[in-house]
């Protein structure tokens, strides 16, 4: 609990980066739901750090830190697709790990439940395409197009969803067997 309360600066620097400095000097977190508008001064600072680093090792380290924060701008969003802020140090902790999953889970035993998550697969594919563009930009090549790998990524998402669904179904079967009605 102590680190959650002490690490607000690190959370704003590396983990929840969609904010700008308000008039009072404090971070104002974005409510933007458009994934194409996931830019911020801090994200630009992280990206630019890799360009000015003094050696290749440091450049790769800083680029990796940027990519992690950049991918979090896609994952750290609520059901309505609005980004999470620090939230008193808990970030998306109130929603547990649900924002981090890459597959949808809009149904349970065939029944649609409104509080479950629907848009994660599309958000994940958008993140993969944006990260691919950053990797191509950094490498200076355009030999490979996103469309060349998109089918592999989509089939991977489908497999994750199937595994997650079959896991949930197996859990429900065990629950039903154990239930006394």
Query: For residue 158, what are the CA distances in angstroms to 27, 131, 133, 155, 178?
Result: 37, 20, 22, 5, 30
- Exposure string of 101-140, with b = 16+ CB inside 10 Å and e = fewer, is bbbbbeeeeeeeeeeebebbbebbbebbebebeeeeebee
Q: Rounded CA gap, 171 and 139, in Å?
A: 45
Question: What would the pLDDT profile of 124-143 be if each residue is shown by its tens digit?
Answer: 888 889 999 999 988 888 78
Between 43 and 89, name the one with better pLDDT: 43
* pTM of the shown model: 0.75
Q: Rounded CA gap, 59 and 50, in Å?
A: 4
Structure tokens that stand for 119 in this block: 């848009």
Mind giving me the DSSP string for 125-180?
Answer: HHHHHHHHHHHHHHHT--SS-HHHHHHHHHHHHHHHHHHHHHHHHHHHHHHHHH--
Question: What would the pLDDT profile of 61-113 be if each residue is shown by its tens digit?
Answer: 999 999 998 998 888 888 888 888 877 777 777 777 777 777 777 666 666 66
């Amino acid at each position: 609990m102590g680190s959650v309360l002490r690490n607000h600066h690190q959370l704003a620097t590396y983990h929840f980066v969609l904010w700008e400095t308000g008039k009072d000097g404090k971070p104002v977190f974005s409510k933007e739901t458009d994934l194409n508008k996931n830019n911020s001064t801090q994200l630009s600072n992280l990206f630019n750090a890799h360009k000015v680093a003094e050696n290749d090792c440091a450049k790769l380290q800083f680029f990796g830190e940027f990519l992690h924060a950049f991918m979090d701008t896609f994952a750290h969003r609520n059901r309505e697709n609005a980004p999470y802020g620090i939230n008193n140090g808990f970030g998306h902790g109130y929603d547990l790990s649900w924002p981090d999953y890459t597959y949808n889970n809009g149904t349970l035993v065939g029944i649609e439940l409104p509080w479950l998550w629907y848009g994660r697969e599309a958000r994940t594919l958008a993140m993969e395409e944006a990260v691919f563009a950053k990797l191509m930009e950094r490498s200076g090549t355009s030999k490979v197009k996103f469309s060349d790998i998109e089918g592999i990524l989509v089939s991977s998402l489908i497999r994750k969803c199937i595994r997650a669904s079959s896991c949930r179904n197996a859990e429900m079967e065990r629950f039903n067997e154990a239930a006394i009605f």
